[in-house]
Amino acid sequence: MRTIEVIRRHEQLALGRNDVQFHRDVRKGRLLRIAPGRYVHAAEWEELSHIERHRVRVLEYSQRLHPDTVFSHFAAASLWGIRLLGAWPDSIHVIAPSARGGRSEGHVVRHCTAVDASGITTLDGMRLTTPAQTAVDLARTLPFADAVVAMDSALGSRRRPSLTSEDAIASTIDGLAGRRGRARAVAVSAFATPFSDSPQESHSRVLIHTLGFPRPELQRSFTLPNGLTAEVDFYWDDFKHAGECDGRSKYRDPEFLKGRRPEDVVIAEKNRENQLRRVVGQVSRWEPAELYTPQSFYDHLVRDGLPSTRPRPGRAG
């Protein structure tokens, strides 16, 4: 995960820089304040992903908070690399032991709750909740789709290392007897899977379920007529129907392009889809943005021939 230079006000003042210069650079948009007395170059900040930005904030706050502070929820997720669906908050979430209590202040949100010692570990010298505890904490508080994305990410996939296991998550939930949010965590863990390769795939799977479409098989591989192998995100065997969620960003991602031009990748993808249709019959493709308008996504799949047991969603989705 990328990091950037953080400019610390007290260090700069010691070198002769003054607050007038700081305020001018902030006012002109050259510097951004990410924590008390901590600034970054705006251009570098814009290049970071949302999870990388949150991680930078957490690392800076870790130098200001007590060494025994336990980072949790979004803060722990950013340190572990657990992906989220929605926006990352500016606030930093930590655990405040029930016996001592505590209150939130500024950008620090303190959760006054008891966490078993097995749910806390260390990473690079920082105390934080384990991946299983983090995924369960998020499942207890986030909307269902967001929580599934986080738990899928923690479970990993064939393309991403696993941070925890289904057994560890189940054990963590067992320790929540009588606690608020346990039922939500149970529902999320029952739906989560280590076969989702991206937040967009997890989001798609949740929407396919909630809109009443048949449950698909995940990551099904096919041998194409040209001898190559194609793996699809979703497959409905009863309907010989494949589904794939593809964002436009992959056509700009150097890791995906592998030295190819974007237009060459588009042509290769089109040829692959033509080959795939000869094997499965029907292929549905959608972009992540479509998932935020359930009516449109519902219409898309119905138009492509998939049946639903539920009526078309209303305006509120």
Model confidence pLDDT, tens digit, residues 35-70? 888 899 999 999 999 999 999 999 999 998 988 899
Give me the helices (H) in the chain, please: 9-14, 19-27, 42-47, 50-62, 73-80, 131-141, 144-155, 166-174, 182-191, 199-210, 254-257, 262-280, 294-303
Residue 270: predicted pLDDT: 86
Cβ-proximal residues to 63 (8 Å cutoff; 6+ apart), any chain: none
- State the pTM of this model: 0.88
Q: Please report, as a single letter, which amino acid is at residue 65.
A: L
Model pLDDT for residues 210-221, shown as the tens digit of each residue: 999 999 999 999
Cβ within 8 Å of residue 268, ≥6 positions away: 260
Contact call for residues 88 and 38 (beta carbons, < 8 A): no
Going from the C-alpha of 169 to that of each of 26, 152, 173, 203, the distances in angstroms are 43, 11, 6, 20
| Residue 45 buriedness (CB in 10 A; 0-12 / 13-18 / 19+) | middle
Nearest Cα neighbor of 239 from 302, 281, 285, 205 is: 281
Spacing of C-alpha 304 from chain mean position: 28
pLDDT band for position 115 (cuts 50, 70, 90):
confident
φ/ψ of residue 111, rounded to 5: -95, 110
**How is the chain split into domains, by residue range?**
1-48, 49-193, 200-303
pLDDT tens per residue, range 159-175: 889 999 999 999 999 99
Residue 195 has pLDDT above 70, yes or no: yes
Residues 270, 254: Cα–Cα separation, whole Å: 19
Tokens of 229: 């192998």
DSSP category for residue 88: P
Q: Please state the rounded mean pLDDT for residues 5-19.
A: 82
Residue pair 150/129 in contact (Cβ under 8 Å)? The answer is no
Looking at residues 258-276, what average pLDDT do you find?
78
Lowest average pLDDT, out of 8-12, 85-89, 256-260, goes to 256-260
User: What does the mean pLDDT of the chain come to?
Assistant: 89
Examine the pLDDT at 247 and tell me if it is beyond 80.
Answer: no
Burial class (CB in 10 A: 0-12, 13-18, 19+), 195: middle
Query: Taking residues 139-162, what's their average pLDDT?
Result: 94
The rounded distance, in Å, linking the Cα atoms of 103 and 112 is 8
Contact between residue 111 and residue 96 where contact means Cβ atoms under 8 Å apart: yes
Query: Can you give the pLDDT at residue 259?
Result: 66
Instruction: Report the distance separating Cα 219 and Cα 229, nearest Å.
Output: 12
b/e sequence 260-286, b meaning 16+ C-beta within 10 Å:
eeeeebeeeeeeeeebbeeebeebbeb
